Amino acid sequence: MLIGAHLSIAGGVDKAFKRATDIDCTAMQIFTKSNRQWKAKELKPDEIERYHQHLEETKLPVVCHASYLINLGSPKEEIRQKSINALVIELQRCETLKIPYLVLHPGAHMKAGVDAGVAEVIKSLNTVHAQLPDYQVKIALEITAGQGSALGAKFEEIGAMIKGCDDSDRLVVCFDTCHALAAGYEFRTPESYEAMLTEFDQTIGLDRLKVFHVNDSQKDLGSHVDRHTHIGEGYIGLEPFGYFLNDLRFKDIPFLLETPKKKDPEDDIRNLAALRRLIK
């Protein structure tokens, strides 16, 4: 199973590999730059070389998460253009590091309405793709909790973004368990789990699902509040995570923790252990 966590790149992107192997991760997620700043320090040649060396040695699947500042759905031209520029840089870094998927929150419509927001996301994605022809890295649009005016809380919205994009083959999906529950998708029984996946398949397509974020939720079904908590300590509980982990359709897809880290790496270690105990 490909199970891991989001890990720090303090000291350089190459340093994340040791943090991953120290806690027995078989996959990992990183930022390649500060997630709270628009600007990005250039990756140094020796840092890139060390990264590729560790990648070859460990064979560890790596996923990147884009900056939270990016909002491709903003009605404000200045914010949207800054977001496009920032996303281009993120994708360039992923391509350099041979990272296959860049997880991206689609954005927020900022009171302009869902349809207008989705249209802006599509237009922005087309602009980004046009600037980076022939890139291998794919954008993984993340299911959101629907907090505020966040887009992507409904499968239909993600599906519309993919369908509307000129180069839709370059788009995949990241499924966040906390976000899905908060968005209103019930999957805490075997029956509701299968019903939800059927809806996902009909609306988006299970072949698009390439990354899982495994997080429990501090808030209950349909709360539209994005608050992650430790595995088994929230409204999802333990058993439903096992539905995903033991689903053979997802045996080659990375399951990545984004749970709180008050004690690092102890919190990741216990959450990873909780997930592994569910694997049959």
Q: Is 247 a catalytic residue?
A: no
Q: How far apart are CA 21 and CA 55, in angstroms?
A: 12
Annotated active-site residue in 36, 56, 77, 78: 36
Taking CA atoms, 11 is separated from 19, 64, 90, 118, in Å, by: 12, 17, 18, 37
Annotated active-site residue in 14, 216, 226, 268: 226
Q: Is 243 a catalytic residue?
A: no
Tell me how many helices (H) and strands (E) the chain has. 9, 10
- For 3, the 3-state DSSP assignment is strand
Strands 216-217 and 228-229: antiparallel
Annotated active-site residue in 54, 93, 105, 109: 105
Q: Is 258 a catalytic residue?
A: yes
Annotated active-site residue in 14, 120, 142, 216: 142
Annotated active-site residue in 68, 199, 247, 277: 68
Q: Is 109 a catalytic residue?
A: no
Number of residues that this document lists for the chain: 280
Q: Is 179 a catalytic residue?
A: yes
Annotated active-site residue in 19, 65, 80, 170: 65
Annotated active-site residue in 208, 228, 243, 268: 228
Annotated active-site residue in 54, 179, 185, 268: 179
Annotated active-site residue in 213, 216, 243, 268: 213
Q: What is the DSSP string of 216-276?
A: EESS-TT-----EE-TTSSSS-SHHHHHHHT-GGGTTS-EEE----SSTTHHHHHHHHHHH
Structure tokens belonging to residue 216: 């429990």
Annotated active-site residue in 14, 176, 216, 268: 176
Which runs of E-coded beta strand occur in the chain?
3-6, 27-30, 62-65, 101-104, 138-142, 171-176, 209-214, 216-217, 228-229, 255-257
Q: Is 224 a catalytic residue?
A: no
Q: Is 22 a catalytic residue?
A: no
Q: Is 142 a catalytic residue?
A: yes
Active-site amino acid positions: 36, 65, 68, 105, 142, 176, 179, 213, 226, 228, 258
